[in-house]
Amino acid sequence: MMRPNAWERETLMSLPLLSRLGLESLSAMLDLATVRTVGPRQTLFREGEPADTLYCVLGGYVRTFHLSPQGREVDLLIHEPGDLVGASVCLHGQNYCASAQATDAVKIALFPLQRVRELAAVKPDLALALADVLAGQFAGSLSTIADDRLHTAPQRVAQYLKKQCPSGARNVSFRLPYQKNLLAGQLGLAPEALSRAFSQLRRHGVSVRGRLVQVNDPEELQSV
């Protein structure tokens, strides 16, 4: 746990949360930040614990999930570099309402929640930035609900792949940013279902080997 270095400060300042702040709020927030690296599988916080820290992903991926009474895990969100973790609860209840875990080696910034609240109570630009980020994540989760209820597994996977492709390009190839296991969870699928979805997509110009994906024609994915 240490103060952010120059590169990390740079990264922080380009985040959606901080990039639109005035100078005062910005430097106040930077002063609050500490940086930490956590290893694979380490948990940042657990459901029900008192919420005292706001996290921000600088590198790697963080997964938030619910634990059912029967011990099953349900993935809720995957946070990419730049995303805020814990925003959902930090500004509302007292406790985290989900658990968060690093998927691999992850670099994160920590903000003491109480301090952020105090700061936001004085700096409208910070409060508005928080509201904006929240609104964005909220809209995302709503479209997740719509997707779940509307599209089949292959459709959801196709849509995910399309989002990864630069628009208008053809013969795109890229690496999945994380394990298929994790992707399955994010799409609300069992790993087997994801695998089968990929097989089906082969006939629509998608080839997969390991984490490498090739898409012949992103437009064609629309038609699945």
Partner DNA sequence: ACCGCGATTTGACCGAAATCAACGTGCGCC
Partner DNA sequence: GGCGCACGTTGATTTCGGTCAAATCGCGGT
- Give the binding site for a second copy (CB under 8 A): 66, 68, 72, 74, 76-77, 87-93, 97-98, 117, 120-125, 127-128, 130-132, 134-139, 141-146, 148-150, 188
Query: Does 189 interact with DNA (rule: CB under 7 A)?
Result: yes
**Residue given tokens 């103060």 in the structure block:** 3
Residue 144 CB coordination number (10 Å): 16
Written as six digits, the tokens of 6 are 């120059």
Q: With CB cut-offs between 5 and 8 Å by kind, which of a second copy, DNA, none does residue 164 bind?
A: none
Q: Which amino acid is at 76?
A: L
Quick one: three-class SS letters along 69-132?
CCCCEEEEEEECCCCEECHHHHCCCCECCCEEEECCCEEEEEEEHHHHHHHHCCCHHHHHHHHH
Q: With CB cut-offs between 5 and 8 Å by kind, which of a second copy, DNA, none does residue 79 bind?
A: none
Q: With CB cut-offs between 5 and 8 Å by kind, which of DNA, a second copy, none does residue 153 bind?
A: DNA
Question: Taking the complex as a whole, how short is the minimal distance between the CB of residue 65 and DNA, in angstroms?
Answer: 15
Pairing mode, strands 43-45 and 62-67: unpaired
Q: Give the residue, chosen from 37, 196, 205, 220, that forms a contact with DNA under the rule CB under 7 A.
A: 196
Separation CA 200–CA 94 (nearest Å): 45
Q: With CB cut-offs between 5 and 8 Å by kind, which of DNA, a second copy, none does residue 135 bind?
A: a second copy
The counts of H helices and E strands in the chain are 10, 11
Find the DSSP H helices in 121-179. 124-150, 153-164
Q: Give the residue, chosen from 36, 117, 162, 180, that forms a contact with DNA under the rule CB under 7 A.
A: 180
Question: Taking the complex as a whole, how short is the minimal distance between the CB of residue 143 and a second copy, in angstroms?
Answer: 7
Q: How many residues bind DNA (CB under 7 A)?
A: 23
200-219: contacts with DNA (CB under 7 A): 208-211
Q: With CB cut-offs between 5 and 8 Å by kind, which of DNA, a second copy, none does residue 132 bind?
A: a second copy
